[in-house]
Amino acid sequence: MSKQLLNKYTLKFEGNDLYENIRIYYERFGRSDVYNHTLEVVEQTRKLSIHHSFDIKACELGAYLHDIGRVVDYEDIVQLCFESGHEIIDGEGDVPSILHQIASRIIASSVFGIQDERILSAVECHTTLKKNPSEVDMVVFLSDKLSWQDEEYMELVAELNEKSKVSKEKAIAHYLESLHAKRRELKCYHKWSEEAYLYFHTLNDCYVD
């Protein structure tokens, strides 16, 4: 595997504090804005833990790392993912920004040394989700959506908040339903999102409105 591009996005850290190094990494690549969003996702993870029991440490770390791939330049991201062994899925090449979730996994593993597959999987699918998701997958995915603050998402976020108090699965199913309903309007309706929608729709009918 070529590491030319990966080397471009690798830093050597002076300290051993993982969370501080994550902050430094964002700052070094000029993405403090993404780091601020990351903190909001972490906060949503903590709020979910009030109503649900899950491995908070794994989910928090997934939240801290979920968008780390956004440091990768637009013109580099397809090549970085390809060089690291990701098989480009239909639509990803047309909307490269969706690959930031794959780049995040690559950086979490290669730069920050994360080996826990639960965390890496959650980072890898935090935008799209995937079929048969783990609990960490679901928490990081939902926390990301609950953190959205743009006016166009306010109604949806409010709905997700209410449903998440009952069941995180119910909230996720509602989001996937809304995404599926507007799939023809999207530049990329990702294969993993469609598979997640079908998974919740066919195997978890009690979660679908």
Please report, for residues 46, 151, 164, 179, 204, the alpha-carbon distance to residue 156 in angstroms, rounded to integers and kept in the order given. 20, 10, 12, 11, 21
Taking only the tens place, the pLDDT of each residue in 152-164 is 999 999 999 999 9
DSSP 55: -
**Residue 91, pLDDT score:** 83
Please report, for residues 107, 128, 136, the alpha-carbon distance to residue 179 in angstroms, rounded to integers and kept in the order given. 28, 10, 21
User: Has residue 133 got a pLDDT over 90?
Assistant: yes
Taking only the tens place, the pLDDT of each residue in 155-204 is 999 999 999 999 999 999 999 999 999 999 999 999 999 999 999 987 65
pTM for the predicted model, two decimal places = 0.94
**Residue 1, pLDDT score:** 41
**Residue 4, pLDDT score:** 79
Ordered by where they begin, the domains of the chain are 4-207 (1.10.3210.10)
18 vs 151: CA distance, rounded Å: 33
Q: What is the mean pLDDT of residues 128-151?
A: 97
DSSP 88: P
Q: Are the CB atoms for 42 and 31 separated by under 8 Å?
A: no
Identify the three-state secondary structure at position 169: helix
Please report, for residues 4, 93, 136, 140, 162, the alpha-carbon distance to residue 55 in angstroms, rounded to integers and kept in the order given. 36, 34, 8, 11, 22
